[in-house]
Amino acid sequence: MSVAEQAASAPAKELEALSITKTVNEGDNDNSDDEGEAGNPDEGGGSGGAKKKKKNKKRNKKKKKAGAAGQSDELTVPVSQLFASNGYPEGEICEYVDDNRYRTTSEELRAKDRLNEQQIFDLRRAAEVHREVRQNVRQRIKPGMDLTTVAEMIENGTRVLSEASGFASGIGFPTGLSLNHCAAHYTPNAGDHVVVQADDVLKVDFGVHVNGHIIDSAFTMTWNDRYDPLLAAVRDATNTGVREAGIDVRLGDIGAAIQEVMESYEIELDGKTVPIKPIRNLCGHNIGPYQIHSGKSVPIVANGDQTPMEEGELFAIETFGSTGAGYVNEEGVCSHYAMAPGTHPRPRIPSAQKLLHTITKNFGTLPFCRRYVDRLGESHYYLGLKTLVDSGVVMAYPPLCDVKGSYTAQFEHTLLLRPTVKEVLSRGDDY
């Protein structure tokens, strides 16, 4: 979501060394027990129309990205200390195709690209933090763990590796740890004691920001291989959305391509064959400085939206699949909040005034959760929070759930539509 800025400036030559050729990630998934088999991330440039994705297409191996040698098992080394030149790894580079093919070699657009070097530098730093944290915690999250422990493990790692410092760097939004039929927007509040079970489907969605430039990426974990087709479907659908995304591509065309892929999968549960459905009222989104949702939505079903993606935009491409109704409703106690953009009248209730000051000072328009407020030493603030929500100063985002007894999965990547190439910033060895 969002707020002010600060930042270490990138070396002037950092972007001049960018590869213009398409980088194909070639390596096998190291966590097949978590995700099952999925299609390869066809690195097309998103020229426009959606292409049919074949479910059984053979995967290409992905090239391992340069790892951060020297990171400790406890995530104690900031990424700035692991990359001495301050040149962070680039994401997956995808050349534009068809009518946009000229962009790859255009000297004018290369010069335009260099004007955005600070943004790209910040995003790559945030992406490296995300990769290192998630690759570490994916080995440590196990059945029997309390979700509060899981959240704090992810968040503490993010704070250390990003050298968290207010609006300069740190956590992008609360860690989502949604189980089973709950698809999104659950993180534990103080006093919650939810324990991961061996038969659970856990969505892990967390963000990292540097100077308000947010990397938003998510994955799903399971410990029972019966869910492999569900994870494969969603991962394949997300990769399809990533492939189709591009300058001038219509958002509705991306949704149609995602839906076609997702619905080509099915899963057997308890002796019954169940179709896998996209959750039609969840979607991806573009991202602005300090603003996790900044206006455009990327559907995961065909909806006829003719709005185009545009040069320079940053998008989170995320898809959700379900064995249930394919539709979510708000359910349960809220934990996610964010201050609404714009100016707001001063609350009349003292507790609301005090809390608004705390939110403005520490989060701005970046999302937050109750645990983050607790961590700042605030107490007895529930009346103030309710007042701010009721008056529209703060937006509440309760958990989003499909029908009970169903299972949902999520995968998500952040990509930047640079003038010359599409860069999938959050791509890694794992997904």
Residues labelled catalytic: 205, 216, 285, 293, 318, 412
Q: Which residue, among 175, 232, 231, has the nearest Cα to 208 in the 3D structure?
A: 175
- With a CB cutoff of 8 Å and minimum separation 6, the contacts of 74 are none
Q: How far is the CA of 373 from the CAs of 172, 233, 291, in angstroms?
A: 15, 37, 19
In terms of C-beta density within 10 A (0-12 exposed, 13-18 middle, 19 or more buried), how is residue 411 classed? buried
- For residue 422, what are the β-bridge partners? 94, 417
* Other beta carbons less than 10 A from residue 318's beta carbon: 26
Orientation angle between helical segments 350-362 and 382-390, nearest 10 degrees = 80
* CA dist., res. 2 & res. 4, Å (int): 7
* CA dist., res. 68 & res. 66, Å (int): 7
